[in-house]
Structure formats: structure tokens, C-alpha cells
Structure 1
Amino acid sequence: MSIPPPPVPPQPQEPQGPYPQGQFPQPPYAQAPYAQAPYGEPPYPPGPYGAQGPYAQPYPYQPWGQGYSPYNRPAPVNGLAVASLVLGILCCVPAAGLLLGLIALGQIRRTGERGRGMAVAGSVLSSLGVALWVLTLATGNVSDFWGGFKDAAKDNGSAYTLAKGECFDAPGGSLEGFTYDVDKVPCAGRHDGEVFAAFTMGRDTSYPGDADVTAVADTRCSALRYAYAMDAWAVPVDVDVYFLTPTRQSWRLGDREVTCVFGNTDKTAGLTGSLRNDGRSLNAHQLAYLRAVNLGNVALDGQPAVSPGEDLRVNTAWAGRVSDAFTKEAALLRQHAWPADAKSPVSAVVKEADSLGKQWAQVAAATDSDDFYAAYGRITVEESPRRSVTARKALGLATTPLVTDDAGDQEAGGGGDSDVEV
């Protein structure tokens, strides 16, 4: 029994469209803008696969030619756009996020990749982050970040976390140069440095320069040491003042702290034991005496770096401060009620302070450098160490005088210009 062939679909009587039946149309770019329809029919704009009319019959073959796909494949997402969006949201590196966003927009225009919205969003968020950073720097609030950085370093032996009364060892045992890491050690044993004070410099946004920072640190630390080691005669002669100062780089992040340190001029020797002597270990009479005599010490330590010949006004102003300090010292010593065995020796120190106040007033009145040097050369402190030793012995203070080159500096300890930067 034979099987009949399948029915054949009816064939159209006329060609349908501009192409013979069964042929594929040419790609759209090969077509004229409007193909001419046969038999006077109105032209139609080319469709996606030829110039077919709206009522043309479908082709009996697969309508997708080689190289085409029935579904559009999406363009890839630009990777820089994604990175820009991530950085913009996190606001961790806003400048980088803005840069990546702008680059991504340029690439998307050239390649047709997706991600324009992400690139725009990342650029906007990063721009806001950059503006916030600029505002923070302008208002000085970046110091909060610096404070957080120092807090984070607190447990890691950072030089930024040294506190008053703490002792430490520096890398290589040197307190000169640049350092960051230090090892905190007990003050009872051998150590390289002992912190005796700290202060904050101005909040200027621009770094004042290494010389200015060093000058401020030297002056302030030399004065602050008398509040920590009040009995200057008890400080060994080979101990000097050092300081940890901000660098140009840390200043930009808000670092303004200067740390004042005692250290040995011989780094191989170091220090042993704490040099602290203040209200925690001194009695009322000792405190009264040291507070008075240290006024002259602090004033003398403020001697200008320039000579009277270079700047007379600065030097006469300094001489005036020294004169006022000795005058105030004498007044404070007179006001205190001294023990019976200390009254007479302290009175001798009072007389000496009065004399020094008057002699330094003559230096302050100099009209030229020659007058300055002449008045300075007339300053005499007759047997001042003996007078101070007698008063100190009566009060139970150190009795070994310090060697000094400063006129009138009967109580002064050492001072130095050395520093260590961080």
C-alpha cells in the first residue's frame, strides 16, 4: 500500500515582494533607502530583512540568515564604571573614583559598552567626596583623622602615643633624625629618653618650616622642663633636652603635637631612673623655693638666637624679661614663710635676685649693641653658688651646682638644640 505524498501548499500566482520566492534578501546596508515595489505598488521602507511590504507573505525558509541571531546579545558592562561606582559609594579614594568615572564615560561613548549610569553615579559621588575632603582640610577637621590614627597606633609602640612620664628606647639608641617606632620601657631601668611634656602648635594649614618648628619646640621645651624636673640641680649635667616634632607630611594630616624629651648627650650611656621631681615628691617649702628661682632660669633660657648687633630690639626685650623674672623671684621668696633654719640663707638669695633684676634692667635700656655688651659685662653674681647651696641644704634640695656660661644663671640647668622628628 503506497502512502500518498504530503499535500503541497498552494503557490502564489504573483511574486510577493521585490524578491523571487525562496531567495534571501540582501542585508539592510545593501538596500536603497526605499525599494521599488513591483506592479506599481507603493514603495515601503526597508524592513530588517529587506524591503517587504506590511502584508508580505513569510518566507518558507528559516528567516535568520548567517551571522544573525533571533535575540540581541547585550553589550558588556564597562569595568571602570563599576569601579567608579564602588569607590564613590565607599568614599575611600574619591579622587580615583572621579577619574575612573570620567575615563569610563569616554570608553562607553567609543565602544558602546553599558554602564553609563554607573559611571555618572560614581563620578557624582566621588566629586562629593573630593569636595568633603577639601572642606575638611580647609576647616582643620582632618586633625580628627590624625587623632584617630594616633589612637589606632596606641598599642603598637608609636612615637605619637608617648605620654608625660613615660620612658622609651629609640631605634639605634639615637634621639636625632627621623623616627616613628619606639619601644616603651620602664623608667627604672636603662632607657634612651623620658617624656617630660607635650604641647600643640598652632592650627595653621601651611607648614611653618623646619627651622620655625625647631625654634618653637626648643623654646617651649626648655621652659616646660622646669615643671617636670623642678630641681634643675638634680638633673645630671650630661642630660639634654630633645623633642619630637611634626614633619611636613604629618602636618598636612593635622599633626601639631610636640613631645619634649630628656636624653643623654652620650647615646651609649642612656638614662637610668626617672628625672621627675615635682609636686608629687617635693614638700611645700621646696616647691615655693623652686617655683621662684625657676622664673629666672626660664627667662635666661629664652635668649635670642641673633646677636644684639643683628637685632638689638629682640635682645633688649629679652633682657627686660630676665629683669622682670628676677624681680618677681625676689618678691615670691619674700612672701613665703620659711622654716627657721632656711630664713637667713633664703634672704641672701632674695638680695641676690634683687641685684640681678636691677642689672638686667640696665642691659634692657641699652641704645646700641656696644651699650648692650657693656651693661651685660657688668652683671656680677658674687658667690651665688655658695648662697644657693646654703639655702638648698636647709631645704633638702640638691646641692651640686651646675656649670653654666650664662651671667646670672645661678640655678639654670642644661639646655640643648638637638631634636628628633617624626
Structure 2
Amino acid sequence: MSIPPSYGPPQEPQGPQGQQPAPQGQVPCPPPQSTYGGRPGFAPYGLYGPYGPRPPAVVNGVAVAALVFGVLFLVPAVGLVLGLVALRQIKRRGERGRGMAVAGTVLSSLGLALWAAALASGVLTDVWEGIEDGTRGNSVLALGKGDCFDSPGGLEGWATDADLVPCAREHDGEVFAVVTLPDGRYPGDDSLAGTADERCYGLRDDYVMDSWALPGHVDVYHLVPSSESWRHGDREIVCVLGDRDARSPLTGSLRRDGTTLDEHQLAYLEAARVLDTALDGAPEAEFVEDDLPGYREWADEVAAALTEQTRMLRAHEWPAGAEQPVSGLVAELDEAEEEWAKAAGAGDADTYHEHSDRGWNLVDPDGSVTARKALGLAASPPRYDEEAEREPESGDMKV
């Protein structure tokens, strides 16, 4: 190993130990220089091996990726796989990054364990629902069945915002159905209004099965797409219950379906709907004399509905407090069925009136009040102000 010269005054040049200085007039050979610029005989650490100089080992890229995935916990399974692959590559290629690969593998394994625990406990479901709720915002396009909301502009005209509020508080409207329309060209305002009127009124009784619980001042409104929202993919008609005076609020939910009623209430209302549906199918002719065959056919349908209603009422096992009132109601409905059957076979208008009038009296709503009270249903027959009926098209709201 060469020894560097000492500092101090110049000394006589000397040759290597045991040798004489080079004769005068000859130039001595320069000492060997380091390839990397170091002093003679020295080389930077790590750059020399048994076979000479070599570049530093590179860092394995897969190990870096494994560490990133492990730290982020986003897809821990990927981080675990990458970590194992990186360890194998590092061992085979002699690359650096083993510590990162190990750390990524450990963190990813921990992440998998935490994800499994979260799935088992339902935490992730709650988090995702919270994210969905947070992204819904206050757009009318986010309204869903059962939502109660305030609309800054009321329930008529144009609307873009809807502030969700608890149904127990005052609110402008309550969504009872959402109808999805097929793709295609914009149907036009009149067509949408007609579709909304037909579909929403048809779905109202599914949400409010007990029509007696629906106040007479409440009516149906429609939230329909505008031509602008249609171009952006809006295909929903939102059916809303609101006060006839669109500026007056509602308080409390109007929902009366399987989510709010017990099994006995549902059984009674489902049986009552059979008769209500038949009674709603009266002929268009105002007078029996103008369409006796049509009225006789309708009377036959009413008689069949009464037979089905009494069958359903008899088949259900009622609680002790309601068994007797329901049995009394069934007896009246049996008599009503006989009168409507006779009306269906009437040979003239007078005979038809005689039996249908008796049939109407036997299905009078007041006759079911006792049974309704026993079942905990609304017990005051609805009273509607016909003069307050609003034209269907005035209930349209556009997005």
C-alpha cells in the first residue's frame, strides 16, 4: 500500500525502499491513480469487489409498490402479493429493498385482518351508507320513497333543491313513490303530466293503504323531468303528498303500509281494498237507465268482491278484542252481497235501484267504524271537499 507524502519542507526524492533514486535526466513513472479519483491505493467504500469495481445495487420497484399499498390500506391483498413477489425477486437478483418489501407485507397483512373484522361487524356497511348520505346533497334528484322535504319554491312550478327534514317536523311534501321512465326522446310536458297523474294516483294507495288516515286537505303532486334535466339523464317521476294549499306544511308521516302497520291491520285493509276496487269501477253513464246492462255487470263484480272480502275476513285469526266487531261486519257484508247479486239480475232500472240502494246502505263506511277502532285503525270516515279538488296538471313540479 502506498503511503502519502508527509507535509513539510521538500526532501530529497527517494525511490522505493532499497532502490536508488532515478538517474538524473530520467522522468520517474507517476504513481497509479484511482479510477474514481481517490488517493493512490484507496477506493470509495463499496465500489470494489473481488473482480474490480461494480455499480451500486438497484432498489426493487415491486418492493416500493408493496410498501405504498401496505401504507395506504386501500387494497391490502395487492400489497401482500407484491411484497411476497418482491422478496423473491430481491433474493434472486441481489437487489435492495428487502426492508420495504417486508414492511409492505406486514402492513398489508394487518390491513387484511382489519378489513375482515370490519366486514364481520358491519362497520363498512355503515360507513358506505354514510358516504352515500353525504353525497346525496339537497338536489330534488336525490329524493327517495319515504323522504320528507322542504322545497324553497313550494310544491308548484320549478324546483331544483329539496331540503330533507324529519317527517315528524313540518315539511312541504312526502315522497310516496318514484317512477322510472324508459329512455328515449323527451316526451313533452303534456305527456309527462298525464303519465305522472296516472301512475302516482295508482301508487298512492300502496303507500297509504288506509285511505281513512289520509286527510282531505292532502293531495298528490308530481315532480317530473324538464327538457334540460332529461338531457342529463333524469328519467324519474317523483310522486309527492302535499297540502292542497301548496304553501301550507304537513306534520307527521302519512305512510300506512307494511312498514308501519301490524299483521291484523294489514289483513283488514287488504280485504277492504278488494271491495273498494270494485266500487271504483262504476260505469261511465250517469244514470242506470242509460246503461242498464253496464250497471248490471258492475253489480255482479261488486257482489263477487263482497264474497272475496268476507272470505278473507273469515280466514284471518283476529285478536280477542277485534273478533266480535269483525264478525258483525262480516254479517252485514253477507247481506250486502245478496242485494248486489239481485241488482245484477234485475230486469229493469227500478228493480236495480231497489236492490242496489239496499246494497249501498249495507256497505256504508260507518258500518266498519267499530271494527276499525278495535284494530287501531283510523275510525273517522274521510270527508272530501269536492269544490277544493285541484286540477291534476297544477300539481306538476319540474326539475
TM normalised by structure 1 equals: 0.49
Cα offsets for 1:87-115 (capped at 9, x unmatched): xxxxxxxxxxxxxxxxxxxxxxxxxxxxx
Does the 8 Å contact 2:178/2:239 carry over to 1?
yes
Shift of 1:375: 9.0
- 3-state SS in 2 of match to 1:401: coil
Deviation for aligned residue 1:391: 0.3
Are 1:340 and 2:316 matched, yes or no?
no
Out of 190, 200, 211, the residue aligned to residue 221 of structure 1 is 200
Match of 2:268 among 283, 289, 292: 289
Match of 2:156 among 161, 176, 196: 176
Given candidates 182, 193, 201, the residue that maps to 2:173 is 193
Q: Counterpart amino acid of 2:171? A: H
Structure 2 residue 255 is matched with structure 1 residue 270: no
Residue 329 of structure 1 pairs with residue 329 of structure 2: no
| 2:174 maps to amino acid | E
Q: CA deviation at 1:170?
A: 1.8
Unpaired segments ≥5 residues, structure 1: 1-150, 407-413
Stretch of structure 1 that moved more, 248-257 or 214-223: 248-257
Q: What SS does the aligned partner of 2:361 have?
A: coil
> Match for 2:219: what amino acid?
D
Q: Structure 1: which amino acid aligns with 2:310?
A: A
Contact in 1 for aligned 2:221/2:397 (Cα 8 Å): no
Matches within 5 A, 1:71-220: 155-173=136-154, 175-201=155-181, 203=182, 205-208=184-187, 210-220=189-199
- Residue 397 (structure 2) pairs with residue 421 (structure 1): yes
Query: Aligned partners of 1:362, 1:204: CA distance in 2, in Å?
Result: 50
TM-score (structure 2 length as normaliser): 0.52
Q: Is the 8 A contact 2:183 2:235 kept in 1?
A: no
What is the identity, as a one-letter code, of the residue corresponding to 2:397?
E
Partner Cα distance (1:172, 1:403) in 2: 29
SS of the aligned residue for 1:171 comes to coil
- Within 5 Å, give how 1:400-415 maps onto structure 2: 400-403=380-383
Matches within 5 A, 1:368-407: 380-382=360-362, 384-403=364-383
- Deviation sequence 1:40-87 (CA, Å, 0-9, x none): xxxxxxxxxxxxxxxxxxxxxxxxxxxxxxxxxxxxxxxxxxxxxxxx
Distance change >3 Å, CA 290–CA 421, structure 1 → 2: same
Number of residue pairs aligned between Structure 1 and Structure 2: 261
Shift of 1:368: 12
Q: Is there any run of 5+ residues in structure 2 with no aligned partner, and where?
A: 1-131
Equivalent pair of 2:221/2:396 in contact (CA under 8 Å): yes
Which secondary structure does the structure 1 equivalent of 2:205 belong to?
helix
**Following the alignment from structure 1 to structure 2, what is the Cα–Cα distance between the partners of residues 154 and 315?**
55
Q: 1:240-319, aligned counterparts within 5 Å?
A: 240-248=219-227, 250-251=229-230, 255-298=234-277
Q: Given the superposition, is the C-alpha separation of residues 420 and 152 from structure 1 closer, same or farther in structure 2, using an over 3 Å criterion?
A: farther
Q: Shift in Å at residue 286 of structure 1?
A: 1.3
Offset, 1:259: 1.6
Aligned counterpart, 2:127: none
Q: Percent identity?
A: 47
Cα distance in 2, alignment partners of residues 333 and 415 from structure 1: 36
Q: Is the 1:308–1:372 Cα contact (8 Å) retained in structure 2?
A: no
Tell me which residue corresponds to 1:7. Answer: none
**Is residue 333–residue 363 contact of structure 2 (8 Å, CA) maintained in 1?**
no
